[in-house]
């Protein structure tokens, strides 16, 4: 009798580590050894050194103790969200339920599919946790001087949480994949969901980085006792308190108990019950989850209607093939749920920026003028312009590229239409932070117009850079490919460096040649030199770099292959 | 740029990808208005040959002219006068058939009522008139192939490269495409360069067939001529005799 789940787990592991296939065993072993050394030695040492540099341990201890249970819940929430949603986001980027047909036709039991896909995921996601968990947990271990037994128990709790969360995540992923099906439409929705899911993961991350006291306060309230991430968090808190080496007094432990509400045993039982409950639930439901859908012919057929006023307006404004191509490009971009979800993601990021600033205003008492906000926004808004256009929403396949290339100057016509589409999509991306900032800071209309213009020019520059770089290395909608990562990272870096570059150049000019460009700009424009450099020079250079990237992209896309 | 009745001419054409010799010393002539069938085993470089001839790829060595123009110096002009049907569909899933053809027309500089009329006529002829406004992601592979056939003919090319034109089509749609090729070749002098694995299709449609083995052109003749010269009963048997690949009954069960 072959262990079918084992072979499915092996295949799943091979897929997750396909990038290492030549030296898989050696590389994975080395990675685990390094992760273990990192977790046991380097992470606590680095964190200890870092915390010691910021403030004395006594002060840190007092601070951590004040926020302790809520802070632990925040940390565990981040790990929990990461484990639950990252595999989900990863799986949704490419739905492959065609494999289920192979499993089922080979008489594999659905519980074996569930167990196999679960076990196959453990090594890689376990490794991720081994890297992240010590960073998040070490400050508490150091502050409370937790004994070795205590630390072993803490990491055991985290390991159990990891297993139950991966099991849950694996189960939810299978349900969503089965619901969406292996179709063009299902894949599109899945990719859109993967972006939204990623957004959910970054919220606790931003919370940890920027609003830790507020988030800890919120998560510390009793309402969160019903959330599954609270139980392992509280259990870790109890173990930390119980095995502390700083001599917590009985009254202090009682005070923590009052905040935590549930005792150690109850937290442990709830955590175990939650983890174990999903094992029979998932196994029982597996037969209903792993089903083959009826196929393309039974899907809902979408029929396009008459062109709307906006598209008709473009058609009458831009006559000829360019207008027609731009309209087709807009339709293609706008009908893909994943593109819209990226625009939504960009808009959310663009609104988060002024929210962060407002938070700083509230917490640190600083008051920002519009003139101060503008340069900062223009630097950050570049990222918003890159994300929806770098790598995806460009070409679906290499076969599409052959069709475009087979037309005379096809690549050039295609790129111009795509860029025009990007410029139109830049409007909501620039409008969102403008409206948010205008409302939050009660800005005058003129300031709002200034912000919009600055944001729009920056987003358009980022669009040109992103599309130019994508055209030089198209990844054909494969968001898991190395080409996609390269395009995304290169576009982000280039936009950021281009926007900040003039600032550095100005400083170097001042130091090297004694020429103060800030003052020079101020003498001409009458505004703060810094603001002029950042608002005018940065985006101008970005537009030039964008133009260059586009030129290179068109050449690369239209080249005759060697 | 006169072509003297020759649409495609290649001389010692070679294409290598590292150690792989995809096209080897190809010498070829295809007459204008002819229907040339290119029969090759899998992974023998027929798609590479089509890409070179349509100006999308540079040969490693040798020369080729298409419609009297050199493929290296006149790639743009060649593209405007030729149509390419790729082997695998590169359609936009979120466009309808009409929108996709509108896109291809715009890429080729077509617009207005002329383009609209051609799109309507082609879709109607290919039996897609009832589904023309549905998104392509809901099309079957055969329907997608029909849209690609329409996109290839949209700008009335003088030379059409077809890479496996009927591989996804049902028998009736396949027969329609056959008739379309024959009518266009006879009435409009359009030249067809057809890559196919289907010997019966080549036998029915092509007036000249070239068979390639190990990257080299082994035989060029009419289908009947090839059948007679190899003493085979049909083109499939002739192809197997030339290329090899016949397996005896014992070998078919040897894997058990």
| pLDDT grade for A155, boundaries at 50, 70 and 90 | confident
Closest by Cβ to B134, choosing from A302, A321, A561: A302
A561 three-state secondary structure: strand
Question: Tens digit of pLDDT for each residue in A249-280?
Answer: 778 778 777 777 788 888 899 999 988 888 88
Q: Given the DSSP bridges, would you call strands B35-39 and B208-213 parallel, antiparallel or unpaired?
A: parallel
pLDDT at B158 (0 to 100): 92
C-alpha dihedral over A471, A476, A480, A486, to 10 degrees? -10
Query: Nearest CA to CA, how far is B126 from chain A (Å)?
Result: 19
**What does pLDDT average to over chain A?**
82
Domain that holds residue B83: 6-90+158-252
Question: What does the buried/exposed string (b/e) look like for A478-493 if buried means 16 or more CB atoms within 10 Å of the residue's CB?
Answer: bbeeeebeebbebbbe
| Cβ–Cβ gap B107/A296 under 8 Å | no
B104 touches chain A (CB under 8 A): yes
Report how far residue A34's alpha carbon sits from residue B175's, in angstroms, rounded to the nearest whole number. 64
Question: What is the DSSP track for chain B?
Answer: ---TTEEEEEEEEEEEETTEEEEEEEEEEEETT-EEEEE--TTSSHHHHHHHHTTSB--SEEEEEETTEETTT-HHHHHHHEEEE-SS----TTSBHHHHHHHHHHHTT--HHHHHHHHHHHHHHTT-GGGTTBBGGGS-HHHHHHHHHHHHHTT--SEEEEESTTTT--HHHHHHHHHHHHHHHHHH--EEEEEES-HHHHHHH-SEEEEEETTEEEEEE-HHHHHHHTT-SSHHHHHHHHH-----HHHHTTT-
| Cβ–Cβ gap B88/A399 under 8 Å | yes
pLDDT at B20 (0 to 100): 84
Structural domain count, chain B: 1
B124, B164, B163, B114: which is closest to B147 by C-alpha? B124
Which of B55, B87, B103 is most worth mutating to test chain A (most A CB atoms within 10 A of its CB)?
A: B103
Using a CB-CB cut-off of 8 Å, the residues of chain A touching B109 are 321, 408
Using a CB-CB cut-off of 8 Å, the residues of chain B touching A322 are 106
A15, A157, A5: which is closest to A87 by C-alpha? A15
- Does B133 reside within a domain? no
Report how far residue A75's alpha carbon sits from residue A286's, in angstroms, rounded to the nearest whole number. 32
Closest-CA residue of A relative to B157 is A407
Q: Which of A135-144, A362-371, A541-550 has the highest mean pLDDT?
A: A541-550
Query: Nearest CA to CA, how far is B163 from chain A (Å)?
Result: 12
Tally A–B CB contacts below 8 A. 126
The average pLDDT across A231-252 equals 85
A303 three-state secondary structure: strand
pLDDT at B70 (0 to 100): 94
Question: Tens digit of pLDDT for each residue in A25-56?
Answer: 888 889 999 998 988 888 888 888 887 887 77
Residue ranges per structural domain of chain A: 4-17+25-292, 309-558
Report how far residue A316's alpha carbon sits from residue A260's, in angstroms, rounded to the nearest whole number. 66
The average pLDDT across A288-301 equals 63
Query: Nearest CA to CA, how far is A542 from chain B (Å)?
Result: 29
Secondary structure E strands in A441-537: none
Residue A431 CA from chain centroid, whole number: 22
Paired with B30 in beta bridges are: B8
Report how far residue A479's alpha carbon sits from residue A467's, in angstroms, rounded to the nearest whole number. 15
Token digits of residue B194: 């057809």
Which sign does the torsion angle of CA B81, B87, B89, B90 carry?
negative
Phi and psi at residue A363, in whole multiples of 5°?
A: -70, -50
The average pLDDT across A224-237 equals 83
| Cβ–Cβ gap A402/B134 under 8 Å | no
Residues 6+ apart with CB under 8 A from B77: A408, B69
A409 CB-contact burial (10 Å; exposed 0-12 / middle 13-18 / buried 19+): middle
C-alpha dihedral over A97, A102, A106, A108, to 10 degrees? -20
Residue A297 has pLDDT above 50, yes or no: no
Report how far residue B151's alpha carbon sits from residue B132's, in angstroms, rounded to the nearest whole number. 13
**CA distances (Å), A263 to each of A75, A191, A245, in order?**
20, 42, 20
Residue A363 has pLDDT above 60, yes or no: no
Question: Tens digit of pLDDT for each residue in B64-74?
Answer: 999 999 999 99
Closest-CA residue of A relative to B78 is A408
Token digits of residue A150: 């205590």
**CA distances (Å), B207 to each of B71, B224, B241, in order?**
25, 9, 20
pLDDT at B99 (0 to 100): 92
The average pLDDT across B81-101 equals 88
pLDDT at A214 (0 to 100): 65
Report how far residue A323's alpha carbon sits from residue A317's, in angstroms, rounded to the nearest whole number. 8
Closest by Cβ to A296, choosing from B92, B104, B138: B138
Question: Tens digit of pLDDT for each residue in A467-482?
Answer: 999 999 888 777 777 8
A354 three-state secondary structure: helix
| Cβ–Cβ gap B51/A561 under 8 Å | yes
Residue B218 has pLDDT above 70, yes or no: yes
pLDDT at B10 (0 to 100): 93
A297 three-state secondary structure: helix
| pLDDT grade for B37, boundaries at 50, 70 and 90 | very high
The average pLDDT across B106-126 equals 90
pLDDT at A421 (0 to 100): 93
Token digits of residue A562: 């060697």
Residue A298 has pLDDT above 60, yes or no: no
Token digits of residue B96: 């309808």
State the CATH number of the domain containing residue B216: 3.40.50.300
Q: Which residue has better confidence, A252 or A313?
A: A313
- Does B126 reside within a domain? no
pLDDT at B11 (0 to 100): 93
- Does B10 reside within a domain? yes
Token digits of residue A197: 């899911």
Q: Is the ipTM of this complex over 0.85?
A: no
Q: Which residue has better confidence, B25 or A189?
A: B25
- Does B24 reside within a domain? yes
Residue B81 CA from chain centroid, whole number: 15
Closest by Cβ to A408, choosing from B80, B90, B99: B80
Report how far residue B221's alpha carbon sits from residue B207's, in angstroms, rounded to the nearest whole number. 8
Could you tell me if A430 and A455 are in contact, meaning their C-beta atoms sit under 8 angstroms apart?
yes
Report how far residue A6's alpha carbon sits from residue A500's, in angstroms, rounded to the nearest whole number. 52
A476, A193, A200: which is closest to A337 by C-alpha? A193
Terminal-to-terminal C-alpha distance of chain A = 52
Question: Tens digit of pLDDT for each residue in A375-384?
Answer: 667 777 888 8
Paired with B221 in beta bridges are: B209
- Does B118 reside within a domain? no
Question: Tens digit of pLDDT for each residue in A68-90?
Answer: 777 788 888 888 888 888 778 87
B208 touches chain A (CB under 8 A): no
| pLDDT grade for A216, boundaries at 50, 70 and 90 | low
| Cβ–Cβ gap A183/B137 under 8 Å | yes
Q: Which residue has better confidence, A487 or A197?
A: A487
- Does B134 reside within a domain? no
- Does B205 reside within a domain? yes
| Cβ–Cβ gap B99/A331 under 8 Å | yes
DSSP tag of A535: I
Could you tell me if A333 and A326 are in contact, meaning their C-beta atoms sit under 8 angstroms apart?
no
Could you tell me if A185 and A299 are in contact, meaning their C-beta atoms sit under 8 angstroms apart?
yes
**CA distances (Å), B193 to each of A348, B17, B26, B65, B71, in order?**
52, 23, 15, 14, 16
A8, A3, A286: which is closest to A120 by C-alpha? A8
Report how far residue A184's alpha carbon sits from residue B93's, in angstroms, rounded to the nearest whole number. 7
A391 three-state secondary structure: coil
Report how far residue A363's alpha carbon sits from residue A211's, in angstroms, rounded to the nearest whole number. 9
**What does pLDDT average to over chain B?**
87
B66, B64, B75, B37: which is closest to B159 by C-alpha? B66
């Amino acid at each position: 009798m072959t262990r079918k789940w084992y072979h499915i787990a092996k295949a799943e592991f091979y897929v997750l580590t396909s990038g290492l296939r030549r030296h898989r065993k050696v590389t994975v072993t080395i990675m685990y050894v390094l992760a273990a050394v990192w977790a046991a030695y380097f992470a606590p040492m680095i964190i200890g050194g870092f915390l010691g540099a910021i403030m004395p341990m006594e002060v840190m201890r007092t601070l951590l103790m004040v926020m302790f249970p809520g802070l632990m819940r925040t940390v565990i929430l981040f790990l929990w969200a990461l484990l639950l949603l990252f595999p989900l986001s990863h799986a949704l980027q490419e739905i492959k339920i065609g494999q289920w047909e192979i499993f089922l036709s080979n008489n594999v039991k659905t519980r074996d599919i569930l167990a196999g896909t679960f076990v196959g995921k453990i090594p890689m996601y376990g490794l991720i946790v081994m890297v992240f968990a010590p960073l998040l947990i070490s400050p508490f271990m150091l502050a409370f001087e937790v004994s070795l037994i205590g630390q072993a128990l803490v990491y055991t709790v985290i390991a159990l949480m990891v297993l139950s969360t991966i099991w849950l995540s694996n189960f939810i992923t299978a349900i969503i994949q089965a619901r969406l099906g292996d179709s063009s439409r299902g894949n599109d929705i899945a990719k859109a969901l993967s972006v939204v899911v990623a957004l959910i993961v970054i919220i606790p991350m931003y919370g940890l980085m920027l609003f830790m006291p507020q988030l800890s306060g919120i998560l510390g309230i009793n309402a969160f006792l019903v959330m599954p991430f609270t139980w392992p968090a509280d259990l870790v808190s109890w173990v930390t308190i119980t095995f502390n080496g700083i001599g917590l007094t009985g009254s202090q432990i009682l005070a923590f108990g009052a905040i935590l509400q549930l005792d150690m045993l109850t937290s442990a039982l709830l955590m175990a019950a939650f983890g174990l409950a999903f094992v029979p639930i998932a196994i029982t439901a597996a037969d209903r989850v792993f089903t083959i859908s009826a196929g393309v012919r039974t899907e809902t057929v979408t029929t396009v209607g008459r062109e709307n006023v906006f598209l008709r307006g473009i058609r009458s404004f831009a006559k000829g093939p360019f207008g027609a191509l731009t309209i087709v490009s807009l339709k293609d971009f706008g009908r893909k749920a994943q593109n819209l979800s990226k625009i939504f993601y960009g808009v959310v990021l663009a609104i988060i920026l002024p929210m962060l600033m407002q938070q700083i205003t509230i917490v640190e008492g600083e008051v920002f003028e519009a003139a101060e906000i503008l340069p900062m926004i223009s630097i950050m808004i570049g990222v918003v312009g890159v994300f929806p256009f770098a790598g995806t929403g460009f070409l679906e396949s290499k076969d599409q590229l052959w069709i475009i290339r087979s037309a005379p100057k096809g690549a050039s016509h295609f790129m111009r239409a795509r860029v025009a589409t990007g410029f139109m999509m830049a409007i909501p991306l620039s409008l969102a932070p403008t409206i948010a900032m205008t409302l939050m800071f009660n800005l005058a209309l003129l300031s709002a117009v200034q912000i919009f213009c600055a944001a729009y020019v920056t987003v358009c520059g980022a669009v040109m850079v992103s599309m130019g770089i994508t055209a030089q290395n198209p990844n054909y909608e494969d968001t898991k490919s190395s080409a996609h990562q390269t395009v995304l990272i290169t576009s982000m870096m280039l936009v950021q460096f281009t926007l900040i570059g003039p600032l550095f150049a100005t400083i170097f000019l001042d130091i090297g040649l004694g020429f103060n460009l800030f003052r020079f700009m101020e003498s001409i424009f009458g505004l703060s030199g810094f603001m002029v450099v950042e608002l005018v020079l940065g985006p101008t250079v970005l537009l030039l770099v964008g133009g260059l990237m586009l030129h290179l992209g068109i050449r690369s896309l239209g080249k005759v292959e060697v | 740029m006169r072509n003297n009745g020759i649409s495609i001419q290649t001389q010692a054409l070679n294409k290598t990808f590292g150690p792989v010799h995809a096209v080897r010393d190809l010498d070829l002539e295809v007459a204008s208005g002819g229907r040339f069938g290119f029969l090759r085993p899998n992974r023998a470089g027929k798609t590479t040959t089509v890409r070179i001839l349509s100006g999308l790829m540079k040969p490693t060595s040798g020369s080729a002219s298409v419609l009297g123009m050199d493929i290296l110096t006149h790639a743009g002009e060649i593209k405007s006068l030729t149509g390419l049907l790729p082997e695998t569909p590169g359609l936009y899933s979120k466009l309808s058939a009409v929108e996709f053809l509108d896109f291809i027309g715009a890429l080729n500089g077509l617009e207005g009522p002329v383009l609209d009329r051609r799109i309507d006529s082609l879709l109607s002829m290919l039996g897609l008139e009832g589904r023309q406004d549905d998104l392509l992601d809901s099309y079957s592979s055969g329907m997608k192939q029909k849209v690609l056939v329409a996109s290839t003919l949209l700008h009335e090319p003088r030379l059409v490269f077809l890479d496996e034109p009927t591989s996804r089509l049902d028998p009736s749609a396949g027969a329609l495409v056959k008739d379309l090729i024959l009518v266009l070749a006879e009435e409009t002098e359009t030249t067809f360069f057809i890559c196919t694995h289907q010997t019966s299709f080549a036998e029915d449609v092509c007036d000249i067939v070239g068979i390639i083995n190990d990257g080299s052109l082994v035989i060029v003749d009419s289908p009947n001529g090839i059948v007679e010269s190899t003493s085979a009963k049909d083109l499939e048997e002739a192809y197997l005799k030339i290329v090899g690949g016949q397996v005896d009954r014992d070998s078919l069960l040897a894997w058990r």
